[in-house]
Every structure is written in structure tokens, then in C-alpha cells.
Amino acid sequence: MPPCHSDQMTYAKPFRVGVVVEAPQHTGLLGPLDYLCDQDLPPGTIVRVPFGRRVVTGVVWDQGGSDEASQALSDEQLKPVAEVLTGLPPLPASWRQLVQFAAGYYQRSLGEMTLMVLPPELRQLDDTQWGRRLKRLDKDVAKGVAAADAAPALPELTEQQAQALQTLAGPVDKPFLLWGSTGSGKTEVYLRQAQKALDEGRQVLMMVPEINLTPQLESRVAERFAGRRIVSLHSGLTPAQRLRNWLLAHTGHADLVLGTRLSVFTPMPRLGLIVVDEEHDPSYKQQDGARYSARDLAVYRAKSEKVAVVLGSATPSLETWYNALPPADGGPGRYVRLAMPARVGDGIMPTVRVLDLTRTPKPQGGQTPPPLALELLKAIEQRVERGEQSLVLLNRRGYAPVLHCSDCGWKSGCPHCSAWRVFHKVDRTLRCHHCGFTERVPRACPDCGNQDIAPMGRGTERLEEQLAEVLPNARVGRIDADVTKHKGALEEQLASVHAGEVDVLVGTQMVAKGHDFRRITLVAAVNPDAALFASDFRAAERQFALLMQAAGRAGRDAQVAAQSEMWVQTYHPTHPLYACLRRYDYAEFASQQLKEREMAGLPPYAS
Ligand code: ADP
Ligand code: ZN
Ligand code: ZN
């Protein structure tokens, strides 16, 4: 990194450049700050500039947008650029436009947005480190990618896939919604469309909700596009890997980027297609710091770069669904809807069994109730005997949602927020799942000293324990965010499920997503009612998507499809959500929800 110049006053006519830096909110800094440089730096150049007492990374921005106070300063009052990051093409205009839009739309300062979406390492490297990174990148590029052994065997397209692809081959003036059941072959459509873009010399951005939950997609992409350079971008990479992959994409050397929400900001000079798989998934929304919806930004980006964007889902978000409703159905027709209702190869969805909890016998005095309704337990037992697997879903991790003192009524609240702290038995802690505040379980009630404080309710940890007790012949396993905290633990646990070493798998929504479990013939949602009456108006929508996705985990193998079942334990068996689920009728569910939202003046009718 050569210095921009060594001494401020040694050249005749310095150039003023506007540089975006990350300024704390309270400074109220909105636009770029002017700096001096002995060369006119093109917008998008990454530089290091003095800011306060530090030297920070910044990006040269387009002319004319600088902060007013900064514009008013004379050249003599400006500070010089400290260093220019050479050897890197400037961040393109389309990238700056995307970041500028995101900053405005989500009400963050331009600097905060800009620096947040750059690889973290880029902000910290010094001269020599930067030089080393570039050298390593050159080596990587020079090495090339191993050529493919042979062309991969492509399945013959189903009629629905062929139709979808035909529409995709048409004009790209609108985003596409690929609405296809689980197992309808959406991924195959993405891959074909990606192949087309790659053949035309374009780059492809393929977005997925959480990369570690979809290892199969990664290997499918790698297999299909052997000979192409594929990079992934997600928060699980080391900073060095993330910078490397980002640089490969930005320099145009990577052909396909497979990434999570943060990848929507990857500069790609030859971008030709954006795919957003499971577009309804909440993890496309960044919740901390600068908030954004990567799905919405993907739509914006596709429009501004005039490339196609395909949003895929079996249960689209209601906003997307509404946008894709044709005018004939009372919608705005902003997106083009491609429907693939059938599963490939006559695959059928499991039979839905709605189990009415109001009619299950109450336990007699003093008896502990069974962890699941007896009918459901029996169905699971049968699976265990036949050597089939069951998946039991409970969207609440930990042992029990709250500890309780029966003497004085104390409950394990969080002192920092309004949530209860969850009891985790493994390490005997009370943990707040909202703010993270964690403490050892107190020996006695902190309010009255009673030694007899007890768990109330049930989380996955306790359900696992209870099921192991009542199903002595079953090997019970668990997958949730607690089990998979440690690197590699999720992969290990998934492998043992695939290897058939687990008969009954207890899990949170984590296991409902994307896994191709071949031997699961029963999926049970143990406590799905909570979402029906939640204050968050999107809760029902999310729950429906989750249940549909969960059902898709069962009967994936044609040999067991016919005996596959999706169980729902509920106190509200006649609720319309379950009626729609019985028929896997997303369209009907969406239409009911839209009616409710319209009457209540909620999105997508109001924002
Ligand atoms: P989705 O992404 O909609 O869940 P996938 O693309 O994963 O569906 O397809 C489900 C299964 O069907 C996969 O095992 C896939 O390899 C297979 N498949 C997809 N399209 C075809 C096809 N046209 N012919 C045969 N098998 C297919
Ligand atoms: Zn007490
Ligand atoms: Zn808290």
C-alpha cells in the first residue's frame, strides 16, 4: 500500500475525494468526508484515512455527495488520505448503489452500512498483510480449478420443471417466484438456470438461509459445476477464508457464490443470476446492528443490475406471495409466479394426523403425564420396532422454560429484559435466550429461601430425557442450538441420524430445514399451538411454513412414503391453519391470512 503522498503540501494541486468512513451514530455524519490526495481516486477505491485519532478503512464515494460541513472546509483544512489499497478493482457503481439504497431504506448511516458489508478482515489488514493476501489470491487463481472428469448426468426434466425454465428463459423484467412443494425439483431448476448463466460467461449468486443446515445443496452444486470456481460466503468461515472468497468473487474469478444473507452484498462484476432459496426463511433478515432483509435487497439488486432473480419456496412469505398474485386474483402481479405443485417421481407428502389433546385422558392424581399423547407414543414405538425413524419437533430449547418456587411464586425472570430465563440441566444454568444473560441455578429460591425450586414446562432437553425413559428400546438423540454450539457437532449428529444410529430425533426448527433424511416416516409437532395466538402477526405464517417444511422431512424415500405421517398435537384441532395443513394447501392458507391482514391493515397492505 503506497502512501497517497508523504507530505500534505508537496504537490501543486491536490485532488479532493469524498471518503465514506464508519462514524459512530452520535456524530450525525451522513455523507462521505472530503480528504486530499495527489491522484484522483476513482469511486469505489478502498483507502485508509485518518479519522479522529485513528486511521480507519474507508471507501471513496461518488462525487458531490460529501458531508456539507466537510465540503465547506478549504483544502488546507483537509487531511490527506493515508494509504490506497492497490491491486484491487474499485467497488463498482452497482455495489455502491446497493449499499446506498440499503443505508437509506434501513435508516443507517452510509458509513455503517458500507463498512458492515465489507469482509471484516479488509478493515484491519496493514500493508504487509494486504500484500500477502493479494499474493496468495494470485497463486490461488493461477492454480486454476481442476477440470471436471465428465459431464454430470442430468435428470430428464419433469413437465413442470420444463415449463418453469421456459418462462425463466423469457424476458427478465420482473422477479420470479418459484413456488414448488418440497421435493418438486426446485433445486434442479436453480441448477439449470445457473448453468445457462455460467455458459454465457456470467456469475451466479445463490443464496441459502443457513449454510450448515444445507450441506447437501453445497455438494450438489459442487458436483454439477465441477470445473467451475465455486466459493461460499457465510459467517462460519474464518476471516481469512471470507476475505479470500469475497476477493475471488469481486475480481470475477469465482463463477458461483453460495452464501447466506451477507452474500447479497458481494460485488460480482459479471453477475447474471440471483437465486434466493427458501425465500421465506427468517434468517434472511439481519436482526442485530444494521437491519436488512437480504431477500428484499436481492430483488432490488437484480432490478438495478438488470439480471434475473428467482425466489424459491414451498411456502413463500406473504409479501412475496402477494406480489406474485396475478391481477386476475386481486394481486398486483409485480412478480411472475411459476408453480410446481407435484413432487418429483410421484412422491407423496405424509398423511397429516391432527391429534386432539382436549380428548386425551387427564392423568390421575399424582401421576406424571406422559411426555406425548399415548396414541402418538404408540405410533413412534411402532416405528422403532420396524427400524424406522421419527422426528419430534419442539421449538423450545433447554430443559424447562422457567424455574418456579411453589412456596412464594418466584419465577426465573431475566433481570435485564422481560423474558424468562430458561433452565438448562446439563450445566445447571439459567440462560436468557434473548439477551444471553447466564447464571448458575441458585441453590434455593432467591426470594424466600425455599430449597425446592422446580422446572415448569418443557424444552427439548427435557423431552429427550422423558422420551428415553418411556421408550427404553429406542435410541433418542437431539439436535438444537445447544447441542450444535461446538464446531462439527451438528455434522456429527446429522451423520449419526443418516447412519441410522438414532431412532427418535428430538429437535427445534433447525432439523425441519432441508435435510434429506431417508428413513424418517413420522414427524410430530409437539406444541405448535403457541404460534396460533402469538402477538406477532407473522407467527402463524412462520408456523405454517415450518410445519410444511417439517412434513417434507418424512417419506422422502419412495419405499416408505406411503406409511409416512405428520402428527400435530393440538388443543385447537379445528383451527384453519391445521385444516390447510391437512391438505398441504398453502394457497388457501395464504388467502385466509391475506384477508385477515387486509382487514387489520397489516403488511403487505400497509407497512
Ligand atoms: P426441492 O428443491 O424442490 O425440494 P429437489 O430439486 O431437491 O427438490 O428434488 C428432489 C429430489 O428429486 C432430489 O433428489 C432430486 O435429485 C430429484 N429430482 C429433481 N428433479 C428431478 C427430475 N427431473 N427427475 C428425477 N429426479 C429429479
Ligand atoms: Zn420462593
Ligand atoms: Zn435477558
- What cell numbers appear for 6 in the block? 508523504
Which of ligand 1's atoms lies nearest the C-alpha of 158? Answer: 23
Q: Which tens digits make up the pLDDT trace of 457-516?
A: 889 999 999 999 999 999 999 999 888 888 888 889 989 999 999 999 999 988 887 677
Judged by DSSP in three states, 564 sits in coil
Alpha-carbon distance 458 to 472, whole Å? 20
- Polymer length in residues for the chain: 607
> How many CB atoms sit inside 10 A of residue 563's CB?
16
Q: Indicate whether residue 549 lines ligand 1 (CB < 6 A).
A: no
- What cell numbers appear for 357 in the block? 389433546
Ligand 1 pocket test target in 187, 279, 517 with most atoms within 8 Å of CB: 187
- What pLDDT shows up at residue 4? 56
Candidate from 13-27, 237-251, 516-530 with smallest mean pLDDT: 13-27
Asked if 275 contacts 259 with a C-beta cutoff of 8 angstroms, the reply is: no
Which of ligand 1's atoms lies nearest the C-alpha of 181? Answer: 3
Which of ligand 1's atoms lies nearest the C-alpha of 189? Answer: 6
* CA distances to 158, 402, 437, 563 from 440, in Å: 56, 14, 11, 45
Nearest to 18, CA basis, from 38, 37, 4, 35:
35
Q: How confident is the model at residue 124 (pLDDT cuts 50, 70, 90)?
A: confident
Measured from the alpha carbon of residue 404, the closest ligand is: 2
Nearest to 390, CA basis, from 476, 289, 510:
476
Residue 407 Cα to ligand 2 midpoint, Å, equals: 5
Alpha-carbon distance 523 to 392, whole Å? 6
DSSP per residue, 247-285 = HHHHTT--SEEEE-GGGGG---TTEEEEEEETTT-GGGE
Q: Indicate whether residue 161 lines ligand 1 (CB < 6 A).
A: yes
* CA distances to 56, 331, 338, 358 from 588, in Å: 53, 15, 17, 26
Q: Indicate whether residue 180 lines ligand 1 (CB < 6 A).
A: yes
pLDDT at 258 over 90: yes
Asked if 107 contacts 64 with a C-beta cutoff of 8 angstroms, the reply is: no
Q: Indicate whether residue 182 lines ligand 1 (CB < 6 A).
A: yes
> How many CB atoms sit inside 10 A of residue 448's CB?
12
Q: Indicate whether residue 208 lines ligand 1 (CB < 6 A).
A: no
* Cis? peptide before 171, omega within 30° of 0: no
DSSP state of 514: S
- What pLDDT shows up at residue 12? 64
Q: How confident is the model at residue 417 (pLDDT cuts 50, 70, 90)?
A: confident
Most distant CA atoms of the chain, gap in Å: 94
> How many CB atoms sit inside 10 A of residue 114's CB?
26
Kindly report the protein residue whose alpha carbon is nearest to atom 14 of ligand 1.
183
pLDDT at 268 over 90: yes
Residue 450 Cα to ligand 2 midpoint, Å, equals: 5
Alpha-carbon distance 545 to 438, whole Å? 32
Measured from the alpha carbon of residue 448, the closest ligand is: 2
Asked if 228 contacts 296 with a C-beta cutoff of 8 angstroms, the reply is: no
Helix axes 215-224, 186-199, angle to 10 degrees: 40
Kindly report the protein residue whose alpha carbon is nearest to atom 25 of ligand 1.
155
Residue type, 529: D
- What pLDDT shows up at residue 366? 57
Residue 423 Cα to ligand 2 midpoint, Å, equals: 16
Q: Indicate whether residue 157 lines ligand 1 (CB < 6 A).
A: yes
Which of ligand 1's atoms lies nearest the C-alpha of 184? Answer: 3
- What pLDDT shows up at residue 6? 47
Q: Indicate whether residue 187 lines ligand 1 (CB < 6 A).
A: yes
Residue 336 Cα to ligand 3 midpoint, Å, equals: 43
Residue 553 Cα to ligand 1 midpoint, Å, equals: 14
Kindly report the protein residue whose alpha carbon is nearest to atom 19 of ligand 1.
185
Asked if 351 contacts 229 with a C-beta cutoff of 8 angstroms, the reply is: no
Ligand 1 pocket test target in 181, 186, 188, 189 with most atoms within 8 Å of CB: 188
Q: Please tell me the pTM assigned to this model.
A: 0.89
pLDDT at 547 over 70: yes
Residue 228 Cα to ligand 1 midpoint, Å, equals: 22
pLDDT at 5 over 60: no
Residue 404 Cα to ligand 2 midpoint, Å, equals: 8
Alpha-carbon distance 121 to 124, whole Å? 5
Phi, psi dihedrals of residue 373, rounded to the nearest 5°: -55, 145
Ligand 1 pocket test target in 156, 193, 344, 548 with most atoms within 8 Å of CB: 344
Nearest to 263, CA basis, from 272, 253, 276:
276
Taking the chain, what is the end-to-end CA distance rounded to the nearest angstrom?
47
CA angle 546, 551, 556 (to 5 degrees): 135
Where b means 16+ CB within 10 Å and e means fewer, 58-83 reads bbbbbeebbbeebeeeeeeebebbbb
pLDDT at 407 over 50: yes
Q: Indicate whether residue 344 lines ligand 1 (CB < 6 A).
A: yes
Q: Indicate whether residue 342 lines ligand 1 (CB < 6 A).
A: no
Q: What percent of the chain has pLDDT over 70?
A: 96
Report the run of H or E that residue 16 belongs to, with start and end. strand 15-21
Measured from the alpha carbon of residue 518, the closest ligand is: 1
Which residue do the cell numbers 399423547 mark?
373
Which residue do the cell numbers 459445476 mark?
225
- What cell numbers appear for 66 in the block? 460529501
Residue type, 426: V
pLDDT at 429 over 90: yes
Q: Which tens digits make up the pLDDT trace of 379-393?
A: 999 999 999 999 999
- What cell numbers appear for 264 in the block? 447479497
Q: Indicate whether residue 155 lines ligand 1 (CB < 6 A).
A: yes
Residue 105 Cα to ligand 1 midpoint, Å, equals: 37
Nearest to 29, CA basis, from 97, 112, 93:
112
Q: What percent of the chain has pLDDT over 90?
A: 65
Helices H / strands E in the chain, number of each = 17, 25
Q: What's CA 231's distance to the chain center, in Å?
A: 17
DSSP per residue, 94-125 = HHHHHHHHHHHHTT--HHHHHHHTS-GGGGT-
Residue 372 Cα to ligand 2 midpoint, Å, equals: 30
Candidate from 136-145, 155-164, 206-215, 592-601 with smallest mean pLDDT: 206-215
Nearest to 301, CA basis, from 175, 404, 412, 186:
175
Nearest to 553, CA basis, from 594, 585, 593, 509:
509
Quick one: average pLDDT of 197-205?
98
Where b means 16+ CB within 10 Å and e means fewer, 163-185 reads ebbeebeeebebbbbbbbbbbbb
Q: Which tens digits make up the pLDDT trace of 9-57?
A: 455 678 999 999 988 766 777 789 999 999 999 999 999 999 989 999 9
Report residues near ion ligand 3: CB below 5 Å.
414, 416-417, 432, 434-435, 437
Q: Indicate whether residue 277 lines ligand 1 (CB < 6 A).
A: no
Residue 313 Cα to ligand 1 midpoint, Å, equals: 14
Which residue do the cell numbers 461446538 mark?
486
- What pLDDT shows up at residue 274? 98
Q: How confident is the model at residue 75 (pLDDT cuts 50, 70, 90)?
A: confident
Q: Which tens digits make up the pLDDT trace of 277-335?
A: 999 999 999 887 778 999 999 999 999 999 999 999 999 999 999 999 999 988 999 99
Which residue do the cell numbers 412478480 mark?
335
Q: Mean pLDDT, the chain, as a whole number?
A: 90
Residue 32 Cα to ligand 3 midpoint, Å, equals: 37
Residue 401 Cα to ligand 2 midpoint, Å, equals: 17
Q: Indicate whether residue 186 lines ligand 1 (CB < 6 A).
A: yes
